[in-house]
């Protein structure tokens, strides 16, 4: 205990030291923290100061020491610091036979792997790979060099940036425009890097070391799956038939590599933290639509195998689980939405759902293994009598709770065929854990609150979901607002928007008599909750619980909405990200529905709601950014059209509808799915009868304007898309 206290005091003193470090002290500090695997809030400021000291002393710090310092920094999770990935990482371009030893070059390969796709620049990876290939030619029997070549190769390719990227092309690392098209990678024997990867893999297999790899070595070997996937899918051949007849590589070479990976490679021995980074970087690549379906099923099952191994969970920490959950969520969002259009089961989606189930168990393991201690409490005034009590510190990191809830939400919204008993069991276990730590979620409570509320809307009726959601909002937000109103920390804008949207779902998840969602609920955009009408075809819309529409009439709901609207007043629109506006607009539309449906019975602050709606509509009218309209135009249009039911004869709303619709009609192309959403939304509003609160002679000028705007969009779509397509086919 004394050793720990002294170490903590030393680290804290280094973090609070006001004067800058010299490069020698900075290097020693990084080596010490890396060797100790020390983790605390004081590590980040130390890493920043050390990185600045080493970066600013370029002449006096040789390349090998810069690489070692960079390796320590990325191991201490300082990759996201700009000075690390933007400045210090450029020192890797100085690696050469004159400045670095072969061991330093291999360590640079490990650094690239730890930097990940987000922060590693392809020109840096290409330079290191060329140096490794040169060394591999002179040292063909070096196993470490073979692994380094395999691990760096994927970072030299231009993979799809996101799981929902269209096309999914594998582009070359150099050039742009015409040069980029001419420089496309080909899987031929003349490709030096591809041949080097194949030669490295064959060397590992021939030496019989593939089955003995552990830790970082196993992680490096796992990148071989990407090479196999690339060349198997690029030639549209099923895995096991090589890379195609147009390639002059040895017959059955990739078939031999794949067989060895399946029979010899022990993937569960991979280091847990590196494996989480690997999934976060490359799982969307494995699930790209460009890849052969049979190849994907076979490879992904091997890549995800470590998650299901009985001994693997002991090496994971909260940071790793959050990364894996985020990777799974991104893939489920794309692949699950495609699966909803078919009635069959998808093997990969079922596998992803099983991974989410394992992550929930991992959270339960974190909670059960948190420490507890025995303390003595004084029971008498004189201090002579003591009672023994058990003091627990059962805490689970709020980031990992939010990430796993988000992944479970994607399972619920996107995988109707992969649910069943496993999904219900996972949700029940996660609800129990969330309820026990509801007051400890702090700033990220809105993320959890949003996920639970959305699940409560799309899943069969469940009082438990609503009760846990209310408990999270009450213990993590409302209790602090009441007790610390003067000193309460202001919510970040994104968290406020997310919480307001989740609160708005409490009274709008009911169903009409014919079983379809009422009001705008049928037209939720996929960006918000994967719940638009064509996406939710296989997901039943939940009927309200027995105590029903009264969810939005409870006192806690009124207090929550009022507090969030009051928080909203304290922001300027410059504080918001433009990507948050569609969700904020949807939330206000939901609340306006509650206001019109329940009138004075709904006791939220109506004036604050009206002012917030007016402010957001002014923001939409003033939005001139074409990229914003391209990304959010259709979703915002659907929300504005739905808002016409609750705001009749509103000039500002008419201006907003006209502006957004005209901007959408000027886009280069509008997808057929988006156009169907617009048409469906306008037709539903056109056919809907006026509400009881409206006068009989109330007209809908906004509906007419929307119809004409959609007509323009339709004309643009059919002229610009179908006509050009037919012309291209004719030519």
Q: Which of these ranges, 77-86, 258-267, 394-403, 695-704, has the smallest mean pLDDT?
A: 695-704
Nearest one of 533, 167, 509, 162 to 340, comparing CA atoms: 533
Q: Tell me how far apart the alpha carbons of residues 554 and 252 are, in angstroms, rounded to a whole number.
A: 68
pLDDT at 418 over 70: no
Identify the pLDDT of residue 63: 92
Looking at the chain, how many residues does it have? Answer: 731
pLDDT at 152 over 90: yes
The tokens for 593 are 């529905």
Q: Could you tell me which residue, 376 or 659, shows the higher pLDDT? A: 659
What is the CA 278 to chain-centroid distance, rounded?
Answer: 14
CA distances from 452 to 328, 438, 466, 501, 504 (A): 18, 12, 8, 12, 13
Q: Is residue 713 within 8 Å of residue 665, measured between CB atoms?
A: yes
Identify the pLDDT of residue 381: 46
The tokens for 432 are 């129990």
Residue percentage of the chain with pLDDT more than 70: 71
Give 309-361 pLDDT, tens digit per residue: 888 888 888 889 999 999 999 888 777 555 545 555 678 888 888 899 999 99
Q: Tell me what the mean pLDDT of segment 566-594 comes to.
A: 84
Nearest one of 366, 544, 561 to 465, comparing CA atoms: 544
Q: Tell me how far apart the alpha carbons of residues 308 and 351 are, in angstroms, rounded to a whole number.
A: 10
| Burial class, 481, CB count within 10 angstroms (exposed 0-12 / middle 13-18 / buried 19+) | middle
pLDDT at 458 over 60: yes
pLDDT at 580 over 80: yes
With b for 16 or more beta-carbon neighbours within 10 A and e for fewer, the 305-315 pattern comes to bbbeeeebbee
Q: Tell me what the mean pLDDT of segment 409-423 comes to.
A: 69
Identify the pLDDT of residue 68: 93
Per domain, the residue ranges of the chain are 1-94, 100-173+186-315
The tokens for 300 are 């992904």
Give 642-652 pLDDT, tens digit per residue: 888 788 778 88
Cα-Cα end-to-end distance for the chain: 80
Identify the pLDDT of residue 644: 81
Identify the pLDDT of residue 159: 63
Identify the pLDDT of residue 176: 44
Dump the DSSP string for 183-216.
Answer: T----STT-HHHHHHHHHHHHHHHHT-GGG--BH
| Longest pairwise C-alpha distance within the chain | 99
Q: Is residue 417 very low, low, confident or very high in pLDDT (cuts 50, 70, 90)?
A: low
Residue percentage of the chain with pLDDT more than 90: 17
Q: Tell me how far apart the alpha carbons of residues 311 and 268 are, in angstroms, rounded to a whole number.
A: 8
Identify the pLDDT of residue 607: 85
Mean predicted lDDT score pLDDT of the chain:
74
Q: Could you tell me which residue, 622 or 3, shows the higher pLDDT? A: 622
Q: Could you tell me which residue, 360 or 704, shows the higher pLDDT? A: 360
Identify the pLDDT of residue 670: 66
89: Cβ contacts below 8 Å, ≥ 6 apart: 70, 111, 115, 119, 120, 121, 124
pTM of the model: 0.79
Q: Tell me what the mean pLDDT of segment 681-707 comes to.
A: 48
The dihedral over CA atoms of 351, 325, 285, 80, expressed in degrees to the nearest 10, equals: -170
Q: Tell me what the mean pLDDT of segment 173-190 comes to.
A: 43
């Amino acid at each position: 205990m004394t050793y720990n206290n002294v170490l903590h005091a030393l680290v804290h003193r280094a973090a609070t030291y006001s004067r800058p470090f010299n490069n020698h002290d900075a290097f020693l500090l990084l080596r010490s923290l890396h060797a100790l695997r020390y983790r605390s809030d004081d590590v980040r400021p130390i890493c920043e100061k050390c990185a600045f000291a080493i970066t600013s002393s370029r002449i006096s710090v040789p390349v090998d020491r810069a690489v070692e310092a960079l390796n320590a920094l990325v191991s201490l999770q300082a990759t996201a610091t700009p000075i690390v990935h933007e400045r210090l990482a450029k020192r890797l371009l100085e690696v050469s036979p004159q400045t670095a030893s072969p061991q330093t070059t291999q360590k640079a390969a490990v650094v690239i792997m730890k930097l990940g796709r987000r922060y590693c620049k392809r020109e840096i990876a290409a330079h290191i790979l060329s140096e490794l290939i040169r060394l591999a030619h002179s040292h063909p029997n070096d196993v470490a060099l073979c692994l380094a070549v395999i691990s760096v190769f994927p970072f030299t390719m231009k993979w799809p940036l996101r799981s929902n990227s269209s096309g999914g092309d594998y582009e070359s690392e150099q050039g742009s425009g015409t040069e980029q098209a001419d420089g496309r990678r080909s899987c031929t024997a003349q490709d030096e890097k591809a041949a080097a990867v194949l030669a490295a893999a064959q060397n590992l297999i021939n030496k019989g070391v593939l089955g003995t790899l552990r830790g970082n070595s196993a992680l490096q070997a796992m990148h071989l799956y990407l090479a196999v996937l690339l060349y198997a899918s690029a030639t549209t051949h099923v895995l096991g038939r090589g890379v195609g007849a147009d390639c002059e590589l040895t017959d059955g070479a990739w078939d031999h590599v794949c067989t060895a990976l399946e029979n010899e490679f022990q993937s569960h021995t991979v280091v847990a933290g590196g494996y989480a980074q690997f999934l976060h970087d490359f799982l969307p690549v494995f699930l790209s639509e460009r890849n052969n379906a049979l190849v994907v099923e076979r490879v992904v099952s091997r890549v995800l195998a470590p998650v299901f191994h009985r001994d693997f969970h002991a090496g994971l920490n909260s940071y790793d689980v959050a990364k894996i959950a985020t990777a799974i969520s991104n893939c489920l969002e794309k692949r699950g939405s495609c699966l909803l259009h078919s009635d069959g089961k998808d093997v990969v989606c079922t596998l992803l759902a099983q991974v989410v189930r394992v992550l929930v168990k991992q959270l339960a393991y974190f909670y059960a293994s948190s420490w507890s201690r025995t303390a003595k409490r004084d029971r008498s005034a004189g201090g002579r009598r003591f009672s023994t009590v058990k003091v627990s510190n059962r805490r689970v990191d709020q980031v990992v709770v939010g990430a796993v809830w988000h992944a479970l939400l994607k399972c619920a919204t996107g995988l109707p065929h992969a649910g069943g008993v496993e999904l219900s069991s996972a949700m029940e276990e996660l609800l129990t854990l969330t309820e026990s730590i509801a007051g400890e979620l702090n700033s990220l409570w809105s993320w959890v609150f949003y996920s639970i509320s959305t699940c409560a809307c799309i899943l069969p009726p469940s009082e438990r979901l609503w009760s846990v959601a209310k408990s999270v909002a009450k213990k993590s937000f409302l209790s602090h607002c009441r007790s610390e109103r003067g000193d309460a920390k202001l919510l970040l804008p994104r968290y406020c928007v997310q919480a307001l949207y989740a609160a708005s779902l409490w009274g709008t998840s009911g169903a009409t008599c014919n079983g379809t969602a009422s009001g705008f609920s049928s037209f939720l955009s996929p960006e918000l909750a994967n719940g638009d009408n064509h996406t939710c075809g296989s997901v039943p819309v939940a009927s309200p619980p027995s105590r029903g529409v009264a969810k939005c009439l409870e006192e806690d709901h009124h207090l929550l909405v009022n507090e969030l609207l009051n928080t909203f007043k304290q922001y300027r629109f410059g504080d918001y990200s433009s990507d948050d506006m569609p969700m904020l607009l949807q939330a206000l539309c939901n609340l306006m529905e509650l206001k019109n449906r329940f009138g004075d019975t709904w006791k939220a602050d109506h004036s604050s709601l009206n002012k917030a709606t007016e402010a957001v509509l002014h923001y939409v009218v003033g939005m001139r950014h074409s990229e914003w309209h391209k990304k959010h135009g259709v979703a915002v249009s659907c929300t504005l059209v739905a808002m016409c039911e609750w705001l009749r004869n509103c000039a500002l709303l008419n201006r907003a509808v006209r502006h957004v619709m005209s901007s959408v009609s000027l886009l280069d192309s509008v997808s057929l799915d988006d156009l169907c959403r617009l048409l469906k939304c306008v037709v539903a509003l056109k056919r809907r009868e006026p509400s009881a609160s409206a006068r009989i002679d109330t007209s809908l000028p906004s509906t007419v304007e929307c119809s004409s705007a959609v007509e323009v969009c339709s004309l643009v779509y059919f002229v610009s898309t179908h006509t050009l397509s037919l012309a291209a086919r004719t030519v």
